[in-house]
Structure 1
Amino acid sequence: MTVISTGVYPIDKLLNGGIEKDIITSFYGPAASGKTNIAIISSYNISRTGKKVIYIDTEGGFSFERLKQISKEDFDNVMKNILIYKPVSFLEQRKSIFLAYDYIKNNSNSIGLLVIDSISMLYRLEKGDEDVNEVNTELARQLQVFSEINRKYNIPVIVTNQVYSLLDQRDKIGIVGGDLIKYWSKCLIELKVYENGVREAILKRHRYLPEGLSIKFKIINDGIIEYKE
């Protein structure tokens, strides 16, 4: 079983070294919980090794300035290895995923990571306008493609996801995409936000690590560091 470092020390520590190559790893949480920062830093960490990263940005959250903060003088070299798709509809998201898959088929040895940040933004918009069953079927199809990429090419996939409050359960949240995300993601990490810029990553599902493990962290200019009280 092979893991790769995300370059985010607290996440690597939580996951006993990093994310597994042959599965989908999902990070979910509210706004400003660190999802995009984790995605960008992971992309930087892989791309600086010479491997390419495919980054599907559905929310316009990918920040070149943030990448510059992290990569410093490495920025130009790193950017050569990051391929960015920016879909603005759920249909375009589907097209971006299949374009990425076609690219991987022909260049699998050069790809180190695939990221979608987030998978639920455009899904959520589409769900409000279209038949729910049809939209859910399409989301499942997209997740299946990611799983095929994992298994056939041993390329890790990071998925970020939004959450919503459960009205009948105080302080509880639901994952947008619900059971579909839970089914296809073999590693699930919930992110929480506290006061003074403190965040927490909680392991909700893993193939061999115990559920409930957690670590607190802070986002700084150079990246993400562990927070110890």
Structure 2
Amino acid sequence: MSKISTGIYPIDKLLDGGIETDIITSFYGPSASGKTNIAIITSYNVSRFGKKVIYIDTEGGFSLERLKQIAKEDFENAMKNILLYKPVNFSEQKKAIYLTYDYVKKNSNDIGLIVVDSISMLYRLERGDSNVNEVNIELAKQLQIFSEISRKYNIPVLVINQVYSLFDNRDTIGIVGGDLIKYWSKCLVELRILDNGVREAILRKHRYLPEGISIKFKIVNDGIIEYKEV
């Protein structure tokens, strides 16, 4: 079993060294909980070592300014290694994922990470306009492709997910994509927003680490740092 470092000390600490390369890892949480920051910082950290990152940005959240803050003088080199797709509907998301698979088949040794931020927004919009079963089947196919990529080519897949509040318990959140995301993701991390700019990452599913362990962190100009109470 191999891992890649996210370049984020508290997240690597929580995951015992980083993201496993042969699985889908999902981070989910509310807006501003740190999901895209984790995706961008991890992408930069992989690009530093000359590996390509395929970044599928469905929400327009990938920020060049944020990447500049993190990469500093290494920004141009980082951009050369980050391949960006920006689908605007679920059909384009499907196309981007199938193109990604074709690219991986020809260039697997060059690729260090695949990111989808998020896999659920365009799916969520499509569900409102189409047959729910058909949309769920397509999302399952997309997740199956990512699972095959990670297992066959040992390329880690980092998936970002939206959440919603459950009607019967506003303090409990559900993952958009529900059981499909939970089934295909072998590592699930929930992100929460606490007081005074503090966030918390909670491990909800892992192949060998105990569920429920957590770590607190803060987002700063240079990236993400661990938060320790005084």
Using the alignment, how far apart are the partners of 2:4 and 2:100 within structure 1? 21
Tell me by how many angstroms 1:169 deviates.
1.6
TM-superposed deviation, 1:74: 0.2
Amino acid at match of 1:219: I
Counterpart position of 2:29: 29
Task: Return the alpha-carbon distance in structure 2 between the equivalents of residues 148 and 50 of structure 1.
Answer: 23
Normalised TM-score (structure 1): 0.99
Matches within 5 A, 1:75-86: 75-86=75-86
How far off its partner does 1:179 sit?
A: 0.1
* Structure 1 residues 78-117: aligned runs within 5 Å: 78-117=78-117
Q: 2:127: which partner in 1?
A: 127
Query: What is the distance in 2 between the residues matched to 1:170 and 1:97?
Result: 34
Size of the aligned set, in residue pairs, is 229
Q: What secondary structure is seen at the aligned counterpart in 1 of 2:147?
A: helix
Distance 1:181 1:170 in 2: 21
Q: Deviations over 1:100-131 (max 9, x none)?
A: 11111100000000000000010000000000
2:7 corresponds to 1:7: yes
The residue that corresponds to 1:42 in the other structure is: 42
SS in 1 for 2:109: helix
Q: Deviations over 1:142-169 (max 9, x none)?
A: 0000001011100000000000000102
Aligned residue number for residue 208 of structure 1: 208
Cα separation, 2, equivalents of 1:114 and 1:38 = 13
Paired amino acid for 1:147: S
- State the partner residue of 1:164: 164
1:196 deviates by: 1.1
Distance, in Å, in 2 between the alignment partners of 1:196 and 1:68 is 25
Q: Report the 3-state secondary structure (helix = DSSP H, G, I; strand = E; otherwise coil) of the residue aligned with 2:123.
A: helix
Q: Read off the aligned partner of 1:169 and give its amino acid letter.
A: N
Q: Distance in 2 between matches of 1:39 and 1:26?
A: 10
Q: Any gaps of 5 or more consecutive residues in structure 2?
A: none
Partner of 2:142: 142
Report the Cα distance in structure 2 between the residues aligned to 1:197 and 1:167, rounded to whole angstroms.
27
Cα deviation per residue 1:53-111 (whole Å; 9 max; x = unaligned)? 00000000000000000000000011100000000000000000011111111000000
- Secondary structure of 1:44's counterpart equals helix
> Do structure 1's residue 18 and structure 2's residue 18 form an aligned pair?
yes
Q: Answer yes or no: is 1:187 the counterpart of 2:187.
A: yes
Distance in structure 2 (CA, Å) of the matches to 1:62 and 1:185 = 22
2:73 & 2:101 partners in 1: Cα distance? Answer: 31
Q: Does 1:199 align with 2:199?
A: yes
The Cα shift of 1:12 comes to: 0.2
- Structure 1 stretches of 4+ moved >4 Å: none
Amino acid at match of 2:167: L
2:225 maps to amino acid: I
SS at 2:217 equivalent = strand
Shift, 1:170, TM fit:
3.5
Q: Which amino acid aligns with 1:226?
A: E
Unmatched 5+ residue regions in structure 1?
none
Letter in 2 for 1:77: N
1:219 aligns to what SS in structure 2?
strand
